[in-house]
Chain A
């Protein structure tokens, strides 16, 4: 199974600060159809996960453009350009290129 390693596990940021989360895969997530099925989710306390980014860098519907995703192959990054209070929660990367699909272990974003 593909292992996704997320770092850091905890991230503390002030309002307005820009932060990045890394997601490294144990194998390439480039699919034979040319797509890379790497997603990012935010789970706010007490809520269902929300899709932020799909296919590495595409912004989900209604997601603020301070969120951006990048990367290829095995290395991926989620960036928040100017953290806001509503961004607190746990961020997960997930791959859907290779079944069984797998999630990263999560990054908890705390607001200072």
Chain B
């Protein structure tokens, strides 16, 4: 069955770079895209970006300058990197495919 799981650091220092991994199973990254969504504590959902099945990417306009999404299809992994972190980047970070399948999310806290 389709599964997605986010992994990465729980705590990151301000001004540093966040690196998260979404490991998928049950489908191929060459057939379906993967999307990153985040949610600050107590707030709404924010679309961050997508890596399409062909490897192309699109990003949230507000994050574009410091965000990149890549993948390793052989390992069924998608990578999110975001630099120059600030405390308001503290959030639960989710990956999803097709909007029907979601990871459980990973809480990242940015400390000043």
A60 to B99, CA, bound (A): 10
B50 touches A101 (CB 8 A): yes
Shortest Cβ distance from residue B36 to the other chain A in the assembled complex, whole angstroms: 11
Contact residues, B48-105 vs A (CB, 8 A): 49-50, 58-61, 94, 96, 99-100, 102-105
Shortest Cβ distance from residue B6 to the other chain A in the assembled complex, whole angstroms: 10
B45 touches A92 (CB 8 A): yes
A43 touches B100 (CB 8 A): no
B59 touches A103 (CB 8 A): no
Is chain B's binding surface mostly helix, strand, loop or mixed? Answer: strand
Interface residues contributed by chain B, number (CB under 8 Å): 20
B99 touches A51 (CB 8 A): yes
A106 to B50, CA, bound (A): 21
For A96, the chain B residues whose CB sits under 8 A away are: 99
A48 touches B102 (CB 8 A): yes
Q: Is A34 an interface residue (CB 8 A)?
A: no
A48 to B103, CA, bound (A): 7
For A106, the chain B residues whose CB sits under 8 A away are: 44-45
B99 touches A39 (CB 8 A): yes
Interface residues contributed by chain A, number (CB under 8 Å): 23
B45 touches A43 (CB 8 A): yes
A29 to B92, CA, bound (A): 28
A103 touches B44 (CB 8 A): yes
Shortest Cβ distance from residue A75 to the other chain B in the assembled complex, whole angstroms: 21
Residue in A closest to B45 when the chains form the complex, CB atoms: A103
Q: Is A86 an interface residue (CB 8 A)?
A: no
Q: Is B32 an interface residue (CB 8 A)?
A: no
Q: Is B16 an interface residue (CB 8 A)?
A: no
A32 to B96, CA, bound (A): 24
If A49-B45, A105-B44 touch, does A100 touch B59 (CB 8 Å cutoff)?
Answer: yes
* Inter-chain pairs besides A49-B94, A103-B46, 15 sampled, C-beta below 8 Å: A1-B61, A48-B102, A49-B37, A49-B45, A49-B96, A50-B102, A61-B100, A90-B44, A94-B47, A99-B50, A99-B58, A101-B35, A101-B50, A103-B45, A106-B45
| Contact surface of B with A, Cβ cutoff 8 Å | 35, 37, 44-47, 49-50, 58-61, 94, 96, 99-100, 102-105
